Amino acid sequence: MYKYILLLTAISFFGFAQNPLYSKLESQMDYALREASIYAIPKGEKIYPRTVRNDSLILVGSKDWCSGFFGGELWYLYELTGNKKWAAQAENFTLPLEKEKMNAGTHDMGFKLFTGFGNGLRITQNPAYRDILIQAARTNIKRFNPNTGVIRSWDHSRDKWVNPTIIDNMMNLELLFWAFKETKDSAFYKVAVSHANTTMKNHFRPDFSSYHVIDYDPNTGKVLKKNTHQGAAHESSWARGQAWALYGYTMCYRETGKKEYLHLAENIAQYLLKHPRMPQDLVPFWDYDDPKIPHAPRDASAAALMASAFYDLATLQPYKKVYYQNYADQILRSLSSPAYLAPVASAHGMLLFHSTGGLPNGFEIDAPIVYADYYFLEALVRQKNKK
């Protein structure tokens, strides 16, 4: 009987009760748009919500790596609700980012442009979006070093690293795989596969947890350092980094069919799901090795990434489809609960509480963060479309 009640609860939440959740998300996004308009216009190009600090909405310009997520959220909200006003607003927050297609000073082309223009192209088939993304991909591969086999991530902190590559950079490879399919230019594919292979070789520990930063000698490709810049310690397991890895290698298998990527993604999944310090609600602490657990901040962004990746993995592993979907559903139930979902008109319209951006550096600690909202909505879209 107890299992039957749980089943009915799950059906209620993900079936008949979808519209109330979407209506709540629409109300929050309405509020977010008003906040962005009020505070952004006097400040020039800073129109993109990133986080909330001291009860103030923090807006960023196009150069910020988080600039693309808000437009991407609006595209997903249109996909979830069918309300055309969200498509119009998505364009308003996507089009100003076009100039970033020429910015070779960043590795974050996927985060900045594929989130908005990529989803916009998928939904509207606007050919102008295609051209922008192809140029962005061409700009992005300029950062590839054939000696190291990877795309350089950061240009800053040259006193710490010579040629750093971060696990987050796996997320930007989807743009390159897309560009290969669109143009048939093998350069995109070769760079993406080389980066994925080299990262697979050097970023992972025997237990399938990942370092955050690997520093390479740009001339020889030798590994110089293995660091975890945003985690509790260099040898710790930073939660969002593990989620980037899970999502990234799941996507790489989807795009290439290479079994080694699937095996790594599944091993990362098992590392996370069986971790002794994974909370029951599957919203991880910001670092699995923080000695302050259970009195440590959570990271809802890592949970949202995991949910979206599990839905993707479910489509790629038919005989484990229910297994991965059930975990993804469980995470979405947690994130949609009052413990994490911000009340309407709170948090300046942002959707989720309790994400952690850079605790060691003292920023975005236990806060709403835009990429948590983006991957939460992406997971909802994938949940809605699951078969």
DSSP assignments along 120-138, one per residue: HHHHH--HHHHHHHHHHHH
Considering the candidates 55, 64, 108, 329, report the single residue annotated as catalytic: 108
Q: What would the two tokens of residue 194 be?
A: 């080389």
Name residues whose C-beta falls within 8 Å of residue 152's C-beta, 6 or more positions apart in sequence. 107, 143, 144, 145, 163, 164, 165
Phi-psi region of 354 (alpha: psi -120 to 50; beta: other; left: phi over 0): left
Q: What would the two tokens of residue 208 be?
A: 């399938």
Determine the length of the chain: 387
Q: What would the two tokens of residue 72 be?
A: 């991407």
Considering the candidates 64, 168, 215, 289, report the single residue annotated as catalytic: 168
Residue 249 to residue 169: CA distance in whole angstroms: 11
CA distances from 60 to 70, 155, 248, 335 (A): 11, 19, 25, 25
CA distances from 71 to 133, 183, 372 (A): 15, 25, 14
**Quick check: is 108 catalytic?**
yes
Active site residues: 108, 168
